[in-house]
Structure 1
Amino acid sequence: MTSILLPTHLRAKLGPEVKMDVHWVDVKLADGTKFMNLVVRGGTAITGRAADPNGEGPLPFVSADIVALRRHALLGVLWPFWGKNGSRVG
């Protein structure tokens, strides 16, 4: 199983679990790339995409690449804002 540890300072943004031991999040990388609907287990590690079997699968980034995290937005990439600072997504 692939596991990408969440940076400690971003873990507080997870909020309550969606279901037992699972969070669904969107992440933004330092290069501006966004990954939507990722699975976080145990509140500490991304294990894959929600569409992967059991939410476990390979991802093309590492923990150090993550600069922002939010709970999965229901509108996904259509939601134009990222975080409280209002920076644009897209």
Structure 2
Amino acid sequence: MSKIEIPQEMLHKLGPAMAMDVHWIDVKLKNGKTYYRLVVRGSRYITGFHTDKDGIGRIPFSSKDIKNIRRQSAFKCYPFW
């Protein structure tokens, strides 16, 4: 299980929980890659993808790789930011 901490300066972008203490976010990495619909638990830790059982799985990056986050986008066809 991954437990990647969101950098402190980005936590305000989470907004209110979408379900009981769960957020879904999109993450943009410093290398330009984008990951969509990641699960955040505890209002601080990325634990997996929305398709993982209970939102718990392996994440292919670390906290230091995160460039920006936003609440889940409904459409992937729009520019990231």
Q: TM-score, normalised by structure 1?
A: 0.87
Cα deviation for residue 80 of structure 1 reads 1.5
Q: What corresponds to 1:17 in structure 2? A: 17
User: Could you tell me which amino acid in structure 1 is paired with residue 25 of structure 2?
Assistant: V
Pairing of 1:1-90 with structure 2 (within 5 A): 1-75=1-75, 77-82=76-81
Where has structure 1 moved over 3 Å in runs of 4 or more? Answer: none
Q: Superposition RMSD on alpha carbons, in Å?
A: 0.7
The higher relative CO (CA closer than 8 Å, separation ≥ 6) is in 2
User: Could you tell me which amino acid in structure 2 is paired with residue 4 of structure 1?
Assistant: I
Q: TM-score, normalised by structure 2?
A: 0.96
Choose 1 or 2 for highest CA Rg: 1
Cα deviation for residue 5 of structure 1 reads 0.4
Gap runs ≥5 in structure 2? none
- Report how many residues are paired: 81
